[in-house]
């Protein structure tokens, strides 16, 4: 069973179909909390593009001949010629979203249940020696499984200083596209975007276009907007094959790699986005209609309500000076919580594990006596590199997880060294 029918979950479904059709496919279930498959639902703005090659789809880097490739999707919907003519390696997000929905409908054996939100996962059957998982759903139902793959993604990061702001006055990037239409154009005249990376910039520009009478300010801790620091040499660190090198590296080397690669993914913008914003600001200065404001090198020190206004206290990192920024709505381009998702931490605690760790095959370390397995996708940057949460390694990772699942099914678990093998016969019979 897998939780989440996003790119990671679907890549796993494809790998199961192709690598374990007779052994796993018909017994594999993916549960998805939404009613359909949509990629980056919160930021599915029509003009936004992916930042990775279309060849880094769900399968091509593992199986270039697969029927589940992005190229085959384009062929199936009659748009291959047009895409080739576009001359771009980076599809629009809407197109990737359409591809994922097409894959979800094309899986012949793996089943996807929509509209089912997982609220908890806890061990089941430990007393009788099975050690499976009980996945509890919000609708009151539950699913028991031996093998579980988590593909839920990370939790959205809401800065603690903003935790008291009502949600109707604050939108995270994960919900931007769905909720931006809730805002009243007549009352929304001052918009503040917190963050200085790609999602924050996209929200700034989208809000600027959607609310033509609004002043849009972008608040960031950095010295200003920067392009992604990428080169063909840096991009080699996103190869699936680099995961082995990263995983086997010393802890201090891993830290250096993650630190130096931060600007290649998290702290930058695409050149096109930078150019669009700069030209827009230039035209507005030229015409005296300035509506975009950049406020760099500040910290949001406090946030409060004044009637229906949100009042942010900003501290200048250069001078220490405090100013107050009033707005009608706050848009958060603050990314995601870096720690393990709460649901995974709770799972670990339920089986007596203090710290969540995974092996090279993404399998979570569990007590030797626990016969079930759990694989984690997209939350292993510390051990598998910065590409772990990205499209770059989806296909290869899914293949490795399926291979590990097959191996675990074929190999009996090792005996628990703490188990008393000298139990009396009567006790053994009573446990059967």
Domains 2-155+337-410 and 160-228+268-332 share a fold: yes
CA distances from 41 to 6, 45, 188, 207, 221 (A): 10, 9, 23, 17, 26
Q: How far apart are CA 102 and CA 94, in angstroms?
A: 12
Q: How far apart are CA 167 and CA 169, in angstroms?
A: 5
Q: What is the pLDDT of residue 420?
A: 37
Q: How far apart are CA 153 and CA 110, in angstroms?
A: 21
Give Rg (Cα) of the chain.
24
Q: Give the pTM.
A: 0.90
* CB environment 163-174: b (16+ within 10 A), e (fewer): eebeeebbbbbb
* CB environment 257-290: b (16+ within 10 A), e (fewer): beeebebbbebbbbeebbebbeebbeeeeeeeee
Q: What is the pLDDT of residue 264?
A: 86
316 beta partners:
298
What CATH fold (topology level) applies to the domain 2-155+337-410? FAD/NAD(P)-binding domain (3.50.50)
pLDDT for 281-304, tens place per residue?
999 999 999 999 999 999 999 999
What CATH fold (topology level) applies to the domain 160-228+268-332? FAD/NAD(P)-binding domain (3.50.50)
So where are the chain's domains?
2-155+337-410, 160-228+268-332
Regions of the chain where pLDDT drops below 70: 127-130, 411-432
Q: What is the pLDDT of residue 127?
A: 62
| Backbone phi, psi, residue 90, to 5° | -110, 105
Provide DSSP, 180-219.
GGGS-TTT--EEEEE--SHHHHHHHHHHHHH-TT-EEEEE
Neighbours of 312 (CB within 10 A): 24
- Residue 196 near residue 267, CB atoms below 8 Å: yes
Q: How far apart are CA 56 and CA 52, in angstroms?
A: 7
């Amino acid at each position: 069973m897998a939780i989440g029918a996003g790119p990671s979950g679907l890549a796993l479904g494809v790998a199961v179909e192709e690598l374990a059709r007779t052994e796993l496919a018909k017994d594999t279930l993916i549960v998805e909390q939404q009613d359909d498959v949509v990629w980056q639902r919160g930021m599915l703005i029509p003009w936004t593009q992916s930042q990775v090659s279309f060849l880094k789809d769900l399968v091509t880097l593992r199986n270039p001949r697969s029927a589940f490739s992005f190229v085959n999707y384009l062929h199936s919907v009659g748009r291959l010629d047009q895409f080739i003519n576009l001359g771009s390696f980076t599809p629009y997000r809407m197109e990737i979203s359409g591809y994922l929905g097409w894959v979800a409908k094309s899986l012949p054996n793996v089943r996807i249940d929509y509209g089912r939100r997982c609220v908890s996962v806890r061990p089941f059957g430990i007393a009788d020696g099975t050690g499976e998982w009980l996945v509890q759903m919000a609708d009151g139902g539950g699913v028991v499984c031996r093998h579980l793959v988590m593909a839920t993604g990370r939790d959205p990061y809401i800065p603690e200083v903003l935790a008291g702001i009502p949600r109707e006055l604050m939108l995270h990037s994960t919900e931007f596209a769905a909720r931006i239409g809730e805002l009243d154009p007549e009352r929304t005249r001052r918009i503040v975007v917190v963050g200085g990376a790609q999602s924050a910039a996209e929200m700034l520009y989208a809000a600027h276009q959607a609310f033509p009478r609004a002043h849009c300010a972008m608040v960031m801790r950095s010295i200003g907007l920067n392009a992604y620091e990428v080169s063909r040499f840096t991009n080699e660190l996103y190869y699936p094959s680099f995961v082995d090198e990263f995983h086997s590296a010393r802890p201090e080397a891993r830290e250096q790699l993650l630190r130096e690669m931060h600007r290649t993914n998290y702290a930058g913008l695409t050149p096109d986005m930078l150019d669009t914003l700069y030209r827009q600001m230039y035209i507005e200065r030229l015409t005296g209609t300035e509506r975009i404001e950049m406020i760099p090198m500040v910290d949001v020190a406090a946030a409060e309500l004044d009637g229906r206004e949100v009042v942010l206290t900003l501290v200048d990192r250069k001078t220490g000076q405090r100013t107050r920024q009033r707005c009608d709505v706050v848009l958060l381009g603050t990314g995601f919580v870096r720690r393990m998702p709460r649901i995974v931490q709770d799972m670990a605690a339920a089986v007596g594990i203090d710290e969540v760790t995974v092996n090279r095959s993404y399998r979570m370390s569990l007590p030797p006596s626990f016969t079930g397995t759990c694989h984690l996708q997209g939350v292993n940057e510390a051990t598998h590199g910065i590409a772990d949460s990205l499209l770059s390694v989806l296909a290869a990772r899914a293949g490795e997880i399926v291979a590990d699942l097959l191996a675990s099914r074929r190999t009996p678990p090792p005996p628990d060294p703490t188990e008393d093998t000298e139990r009396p016969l009567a006790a053994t019979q009573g446990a059967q």
